[in-house]
Structure 1
Amino acid sequence: MTTFHQRLPLIGAASWIKTVAFVAALLVTGIGSAAAETPAGYMQRVANQLIEAQKSGTEPDFATVIRSHADVPTIGLTALGSYAQSLNKADRPAYYAGMINFISRYAAKEAPKYPVLRAIMVGQTKETANGIYVDSRITLRTGENYDVRWRIVRRGSVFKVRDAEIIGFEMTSFLNNLFQNYISENGGNPRTLVLALNR
C-alpha cells in the first residue's frame, strides 16, 4: 500500500520539481521586522540564510526555519479548501505540526539534488491588500537559472512569505491539490490527513 508520503514524488509538474525543495522552504520562511527593511531586502536576507541552511540539508534545519517563521495558519487552512470548516480547532496544532514535518522531509530529501548557488532579488511591487511581490533570479550550481516571484504579507510587525510562483505555477496549489485529494479519497474527513501527516 502506498503511503501519503510515498505518493508525493509522483504528484506535480516536471517544470518545477527541480526547485521545489528550495522554494518550499523559502515559501514558508519569514524573518525580520516589516518596519525595519524593504521587502526585497528582507527576501534577500532570507534567501542567503536559507542557502546556508541548505548546505546541511537536514530535516530539523528545514523544520526549524519553517516552524519559527512560517505563515502556517494561512497556508495550512487554505490548503484544506472547503475541508477547513470540518477540521476541529483542537486538531489544528497537530495539523500544522504535521504539515511542517511533511514539507521538511520533502525539502531535506530533494535539496541536495539541486544546490542553489545564489538568489538575487531584482525588484518588488507596491504593497496592496494581497501583499507585496518580490521578483528574484535563482542560480543553481549547475549554472541553470530560473525566476521566482514571492508573495509576502505583513503579520503584525514582521513579513511572512505567503506564496511563490515559478513558470506560472503557484507553490501553494501543490499543497492544496495534494491535501484536498487525500481527504477526498479517504472519506472526506480532514482528520485522516492530520493522522497521515504525523505518521
Structure 2
Amino acid sequence: MTQEVDLDSLIRQRIRSLRHARGWSLDALAARAHLSPSSLSRIETGHRRISLDQLVPIARALDTTLDQLVESPSDEDVVIRPQPTHTPGTTVWLLSREASVHGVTVAKMRITPELPVGPDSLKVHPGHEWFTVLSGTARLHLGDRTVLVRAGDAAEFSTMTPHAIRAHEAPVEILTVLDHNAERVHLHGGGEGVAS
C-alpha cells in the first residue's frame, strides 16, 4: 500500500513539475487537458483521486506518454554498471542503456596504439559523432586529414567523412556520444568497437 501511495505522490509531483517547466498556470494546463482548474488543482495537491480518464489527457497535454507519467522509480533505472567489451586494441564500456533514450549511446573507450589504421578501417555512415578525450591524445583520421585531439579537448564531425579514432603514441581514453547509425556501425558492425 505504501508503494502505491508513493507512486501516486510521484505522479502528482511529475504533473506539477512538467507544468511548471512549461511555464503554464493551472488554468493553462486544465484548458489543454479539458479539465476544470479546480479538478487539476485537487489532483496535483492530492485532494482528489487520480483516474485513468484524467491521466491520459493530462499526459497528452504535457507532451509525454502515460507510461512515462506513471513509471515506477527504481535504482536500477538510475545506476548503470558497465561491463567492458574487449576487442584487439579497444575496450568499450557502455554508459547508457542499450535501448538508449533519444537515440544516442554514451560510451567510454580505451584505445591502445597497436590498433592499426588503414583504408579498410575508415568508416562512413550518416550522422555526427562527438567525443572528448579523458586522458592521452587521440588521432582522429578524417579522410586524408589527421587531427590530434588532446586530453580535455572535444571533437565533433560529420560521419559522412571516412573516419577512425586511434591512440597517438600511448593509450587514450575517450568519452563518446553516438547516434543510432554510429552505434550500429561501431558497436555492432565491424568488430573494431567504437573506434571505427
Task: Report the TM range for the smaller structure's normalisation.
Answer: under 0.3
* Structure label with greater radius of gyration: 2
What TM-score, normalized by structure 2, do the two folds share?
A: 0.22
